[in-house]
Amino acid sequence: MAVAESRASDRLAPIVDEVARAIGRHGIKQGEAAGARGVLRVTEEDNVKRIVQVYWTPFEAAIPGRSIGLHLEVAEPRVHWAEAYLSPDFRNWVFCFHERADGEIQLAYHRDYPTPAEAVEGFFNLSSWYVLTATDLTWSDVVYEAQDGIGFTEHHKALAGTSTSKAVQESLKKSTIIWLRWKHEDRNHTMPVWFLYDQKVDKLYVLSGERQQTLPGAGEMREADVILRWKGRNSRVAEIPASVRALEPGPEWDAVAEKIAEKRLNIPGLPEDTARRWRDECDILDITLRT
């Protein structure tokens, strides 16, 4: 029995990763339900059967075996909540409910998805409208809790942007390379990139467009995952969601470009000359970790 449970949990691990990344993208902090305006609970479910009323007809959604459940609840001014059930083997379901003025509970929306990743995206999109907008809240008003035993480790806390370990800071200070993962034109890209870490403002800067380093769609990038590794070891420190913006031409761009040029090795000429040449050829990405 223990072996079977272990295998089930292993099959759910990629879903937990996907959930953690989504939590990070929406800036949801880990916290206690008591006193919070909204709570998102991440749980492990077993043989879910959800019976709801669609107009006048009862409807049952069944998710056999183990799955990951997402439960977002806002209690005031009236109860609004959303549920998702995520399975590697069966259809994935999202439900949104609200309390009517007469005290009855009403199904506001439901939908099924073929993959857990699509369902996670659907859950956060639908929850934003049917739960948060309906109660005049945002994701910044929500805290998340992960059920004990679900396997929500320090790795997942880093994905969710709640890890501020010394290892992250040490990696940023000592490394010259990070791995960056982003999406462009419906394609996922992952590549190692040279970066500059400005400790004073706690930002990373990445240059794209020169011969040694070009990132597809750099100027359009708005979010990415930053993967940190120990210098000199093939070992991951953390994977952290990040907000990204391309710097606009101007004094800020020039100042950052000169700092990058000063740190680059084997570039002939003065840093300001190199920065001037980059101005017409390159993008500079301002990357802020969501920690």
Q: pLDDT tens across 28-73, in order?
A: 888 888 889 999 999 999 999 988 776 666 778 889 999 999 999 9
Residue-number span of the structural domain to which 45 is assigned = 2-159
Q: Which residues contact 124 (CB under 8 A, 6 or more apart)?
A: 22, 25, 26
Backbone phi and psi for residue 283, each to the nearest 5 degrees, phi listed first: -105, 145
Same domain? 211 vs 105: no
Position of tokens 């805290």? 143
> pLDDT tens digits, residue range 174-207?
888 899 999 999 899 999 999 999 888 889 999 9
Label residue 71 exposed, middle or buried (CB < 10 Å: 0-12, 13-18, 19+): middle
Nearest of 51, 8, 261, 290 to residue 149 by alpha carbon: 8
pLDDT of residue 241: 81
Same domain? 58 vs 29: yes
Whole-number Å distance between alpha carbons of 270 and 139: 46
Decide: helix, strand or coil at residue 6.
helix
> pLDDT tens digits, residue range 234-251?
666 777 888 999 999 888
What's the Cα-to-Cα distance from 123 to each of 26, 66, 81, 117, rounded to whole Å?
A: 12, 19, 11, 10
**Which of these three, 134, 159, 184, is where a domain ends?**
159
pTM above 0.85, yes or no: no
Categorise residue 105: left if φ over 0, alpha if ψ from -120 to 50, beta otherwise.
Answer: beta
Same domain? 155 vs 172: no
Whole-number Å distance between alpha carbons of 269 and 276: 11
Same domain? 194 vs 237: yes
Whole-number Å distance between alpha carbons of 233 and 244: 27
In this structure, are residues 152 and 146 in contact, taking their beta carbons and an 8 Å threshold? yes
**Which of these three, 121, 143, 159, is where a domain ends?**
159
Same domain? 143 vs 264: no
Same domain? 281 vs 183: yes
Same domain? 210 vs 140: no
pLDDT band at 264 (very low <50, low <70, confident <90, very high): confident
Same domain? 174 vs 71: no
* Gap between the terminal Cα atoms of the chain: 38
Same domain? 13 vs 69: yes
> pLDDT tens digits, residue range 200-236?
888 999 999 987 899 999 999 999 989 887 666 566 6
**Residues paired with 84 in a beta bridge:** 70, 94
- Tell me how many domains the chain contains: 2
Which CATH number characterizes residue 177's domain? Answer: 2.30.110.10
Whole-number Å distance between alpha carbons of 3 and 129: 41
Backbone phi and psi for residue 72, each to the nearest 5 degrees, phi listed first: -105, 125
pLDDT band at 267 (very low <50, low <70, confident <90, very high): low
Same domain? 135 vs 191: no
What's the Cα-to-Cα distance from 215 to each of 204, 275, 284, rounded to whole Å?
A: 15, 18, 11
pLDDT of residue 1: 34
Whole-number Å distance between alpha carbons of 207 and 215: 9
**Which of these three, 159, 192, 212, is where a domain ends?**
159
pLDDT of residue 246: 94
Same domain? 278 vs 209: yes
Same domain? 75 vs 209: no
